[in-house]
Amino acid sequence: MKAGMFHETRAIPGSRSPYELESNVAGLGIDESSLISILGKLHPEQKQSFRKGTRDFFTEDDRLFERWDERHIAQLQHEFLRFKNAMVLWTMHPWERDARLAKEALRKGQQAYGVLVEIACTRSSEELLGARRAYHSLFDHSIEEDVAVHIHGIERKLLVALVSSYRYEGPRVHEETARSEAKILHNAFKAADKTKPIEDEEVVRILTTRSKLHIKAISTHYKEFSSSDITEDLDTELLLKQTLQCLYTPETYFSTVLDSALKDGADETTREALTRVIVTEANNVDMKKIKEEYHQKYGVDLSEKISGVANGNYRDFLLTLVARGD
């Protein structure tokens, strides 16, 4: 039985439908149909038996009063909100959506910096410019200003430059320059024990100004200097690794993020990525690539994985969006 649902475990005297609230409500979304068919049919005496039989959710005080555990109220409310949040994000203008996602990422702090990278590096130059304009209108600050003010660590220089970028999107790539910059990156990555690459001005310059085709050419030339793929040399530098993946292999980045979001025990920030990625990528041609990459990496269809983890209207809406790429 999926988490977030009610399931039958023991008989309630006088009841034709015995139910108990599952103790580990930790799924993604709520099976609304099950709740309606189960709870809507309970009579007063059955509801009393229901409360007494679900001590994980109801507590009894010294007056023998049965009341909800506050933690589980908050948890259920949150799961009900997943569908609403997905609908709101889906209908929102993409520029406003990215601006609000960026604002929320800044509020959450370091664990959400990847969202800023995602917005800055997987959108087109015009889309990022639009998100910056929307941010200015919504919050009376520039996104560059807020990133600079709220981020105090070594990531600040990179992130300010990423959200400020306006990349060339034409077809031209100067191969010799790409090869030269591949060597610069290789040297910086291999010297990580002395100076962190994220603090290297040349690394920041290359990753925040070059076109995506140029970055892809750099990744190809990088193999001339290293036996490893460019991102493999960044396993300990997550933000730089995410930046490179978002710039030239976004399907790899998104499939990894989705897998983390769909794992048991994922924290809430990680889980929220499921809504964010499916909603933002559903209209893009990259959704097909994301699904192919996910299947190749994890051996299961993305839709099948979502069906096994998510519940109710939330699950159905995500599956509808994923299917748009078919």
Q: What is the dihedral of CA 120, 125, 129, 130, to 10 degrees?
A: -100
CA nearest neighbour of 278 among 316, 224, 228, 231: 316
The radius of gyration of the chain from alpha carbons, rounded to an integer in Å, stands at: 24
Q: Does 29 belong to an annotated binding site?
A: yes
Is the separation of the CB atoms in 236 and 193 below 8 Å?
A: no
Cα distance between residue 323 and residue 68, in whole Å: 39
Cα distance between residue 323 and residue 326, in whole Å: 5
Secondary structure tally for the chain: helices H, strands E: 17, 4
Is the separation of the CB atoms in 258 and 264 below 8 Å?
A: no
Is the separation of the CB atoms in 224 and 213 below 8 Å?
A: no
CB atoms closer than 10 angstroms to residue 107 = 9
Is the separation of the CB atoms in 29 and 310 below 8 Å?
A: yes
Is the separation of the CB atoms in 275 and 86 below 8 Å?
A: yes
Q: Enter the tokens of residue 282.
A: 């559903």
Is the separation of the CB atoms in 16 and 38 below 8 Å?
A: no
Cα distance between residue 293 and residue 252, in whole Å: 7
Residue 321 CA to its chain's centroid (Å): 15
Q: Does 27 belong to an annotated binding site?
A: yes
Is the separation of the CB atoms in 147 and 159 below 8 Å?
A: yes
CB atoms closer than 10 angstroms to residue 236 = 11
Q: Does 265 belong to an annotated binding site?
A: yes
**Annotated binding site for Ca(2+): which residue ranges?**
27, 29, 265
**Annotated binding site: which residue ranges?**
27, 29, 265
